[in-house]
Amino acid sequence: MSDNGCGFPAPGLHSFLFKPMFTVGGFEFNKVMLLALMTTLVVVTFFYVAFGKAKLVPGKLQMMGEAGYDFVRRGIVYETMGKKDGEKYVPLMVSLFFFIWIMNIWSVIPLTQFPVSSIIAYPAVLAAVVYLVWVPLTFKKHGFVGGWKNITGFDNSLGPIKWLVSFIEFFSNLLVRPFTHAVRLFANMFAGHLMLVMFTVASWYLLNSWMIPAAGVSFVMTMAMIVFELFVQAVQAYVFVLLACSYIQGALAEHH
C-alpha cells in the first residue's frame, strides 16, 4: 500500500534517487553515473568506428556519422555563427549534441529507463562548460573594457538609463543565462520521466485491478508519451547546442 492508502505507488522525487552500486574510498557510484559513463563510451565508440577508418565510399555507419556531424555543423553551428567563426567550434557542438541526446535517450531504453539529464548536476556541468568558453572568449576578443561592454550592453546613447540597462544585462548574461541554460534541459527531462513513470506504473496497477479497460487507455498513453519523449529528447539536445552557439556568437560579435 502507498502512503495515501489507495495502493497506487505514485511516482515522486524517490523515482530520481538511486542506491549506490558500490563505494570506493567514500565515493558512491550509482546507476546515473553508470549511464553517464555509458553515454561517453557510446558516443566515443560510435564516432571512432564511423570515422576511424573513413572510406571514400562510406559504409552505413560512416554515412550515419557524417549525417549527424553535418546536421550539427550546417544546421546549427553555421546557421548561428557562420562558417568562418563557427568551424573551430563544430567538434565541441557535435560532442555536446550527441552526449546530451544519448543521455536523454536512456529514458526509453528497457532496463536503463532513466534520462541522465533529469539530474541537475549533469546539465549544470555542461552549461558551465559553455559558460567557460564564451565568457573568456568575450574578453579575449574585445579586451577587458570592450568585454564588459559586450556583456553589459553599455551604450552612452541610452542616456540616464544606460546604468540600469547595463545592470540588467550583466545580471541576465552572467547569472541568469547559465542557470536557464541548465534548467531548461533538466526540467524537460525531469517532467518527461515523471510522466512516463506515472503512466507506466498506472498501467500495471490498473491491470491488476478490476479496471482493466482503463489499463488499456493508460498503456496507449504510455506509448504516446514514449514517442513524444523521443521527439523532446532530440529537441532539447538541439536547443541546448543552439543556445551555446548563440552565446559564443554573441561573444564574437562587435556589438552585443
pLDDT tens by residue, 184-208 = 999 999 998 888 887 777 776 666 6
Give the helix/strand (H/E) hosting 24.
strand 22-24
Q: Is residue 27 in some structural domain? A: no
Query: Is 11 domain-assigned?
Result: no
Our count of domains for the chain comes to 1
In a domain, 205, yes or no: yes
Please list the residues that pair with 28 across neighbouring strands. 23
Q: What's the pLDDT at 72?
A: 96
Q: Examine residue 188 and state whether it is found in any structural domain, yes or no.
A: yes
Nearest CA among 137, 84, 113 for reference residue 222 = 113
Kindly state whether residue 224 falls inside one of the protein's structural domains.
Answer: yes
Q: What number is the average pLDDT over the span 76-80?
A: 95
Sign of the dihedral defined by the CA atoms of residues 139, 142, 145, 149, in that order = negative
| Contacts (Cβ under 8 Å, ≥6 apart) of 242 | 76, 80
37: in domain: no
Contact assessment for residue 108 and residue 195, using Cβ atoms and an 8 Å cutoff = no
pTM above 0.85, yes or no: yes
User: Domain for residue 83, yes or no?
Assistant: yes
* φ, ψ for residue 219, nearest 5 deg: -65, -45
**Assigned domain for 34 exists:** no
> What is the per-residue pLDDT for 193?
87
pLDDT, mean of residues 35-47: 95
Domain that holds residue 227: 60-110+175-251
Beta bridge partners of 138: none
Band (pLDDT 50/70/90 cuts) for residue 211 is: low
Determine the 3-state secondary structure of 27 from DSSP. Answer: strand
